[in-house]
Amino acid sequence: MILAHRFAWELVHGRIPIGGGHHGMCVLHKCDVRLCVNPEHLFLGSQAANLSDMANKGRRATGERHGMAALTELEVSEI
C-alpha cells in the first residue's frame, strides 16, 4: 500500500530516495492540502523538514486542539 501523494510523486519523478532517519524521505505539500496529488505541489524533505514546515505554517495542533487531548484548557486550569 502506498499513499496517493507518494504514488503521484513516483509517477512523475521516480522512486523516492530512502533518506536518513527513521521515516526516510517524506513527500511534503506546498499547498498544504493533504489530499492533493498534483506533482507540482509536492516536494521531498526529511521528517525534520516536514515537522518544521508544519510548525511554520501553523498546522501543529497543541493543547485541546490536539487529536489525543482528553481535557480542555478550562478543565486543566480547574485541576
Q: How far is CA 76 from CA 18, 35, 66, 67, 71, in A?
A: 42, 34, 14, 16, 6
> Rounded CA gap, 45 and 6, in Å?
12
- What is the distance of C-alpha 73 from the center of its chain? 25
User: Is the entire prediction scored with pTM above 0.75?
Assistant: no
- Encode pLDDT of 18-37 as tens digits: 876 677 899 999 988 888 99
In this structure, what are the phi and psi dihedrals at residue 3, rounded to the nearest 5 degrees? -70, 145
Q: pLDDT at position 9, please?
A: 95
Q: Which residues pair with 27 in a beta bridge?
A: 44
- Encode pLDDT of 61-75 as tens digits: 778 777 778 888 888
| Mean pLDDT value across the chain | 87
